[in-house]
Amino acid sequence: MRLMTPELEKRFAEIGSQDDVDDPIIVAKFDSPLSSVIWYATEYDPVAEMFYGFVSRFDGKFQDWEHFSLEELETHICSHCLEPNQYYERVGQDPLWTERKASTVIR
């Protein structure tokens, strides 16, 4: 299942670059219930299939603004899920997410 829907891609195009914005809008949140990574996307380049946004790892212990690819999200499997007989879930778009300013998410 593709994470990038036509509606989501349209919304990223409407917002465009937020390079010069002090408090950018987080358009989409991607995560997996079993992964320790959350991706908050503020921009998307449809040609390169690359996002830009805030990534939080290990319950916020490692956080930074960075680029990440659609392929990375679609193929991500959490490391502890690679153990034998472990169930895993793929990354998905948070269905309850509503757009909000980064300052309301990043502390």
Residue 75 confidence (pLDDT): 81
Let me know if residue 25 belongs to a domain.
yes
- Strands 100-101 and 25-26 come out as antiparallel
- In terms of DSSP H, where are the helices of the chain? 6-15, 70-75
DSSP 12: H
d(CA 12, CA 45) in angstroms, rounded, equals 8
Let me know if residue 68 belongs to a domain.
yes
Residue 7 confidence (pLDDT): 93
Let me know if residue 1 belongs to a domain.
no
Let me know if residue 46 belongs to a domain.
yes
Q: Which residues constitute the domain of residue 32?
A: 6-104
Give residue-wise pLDDT tens across range 15-51.
999 999 999 999 999 987 777 789 999 999 999 999 9
DSSP 73: H
Let me know if residue 80 belongs to a domain.
yes
Percent of the chain's residues with pLDDT above 70: 84
Tell me how long the chain is: 107
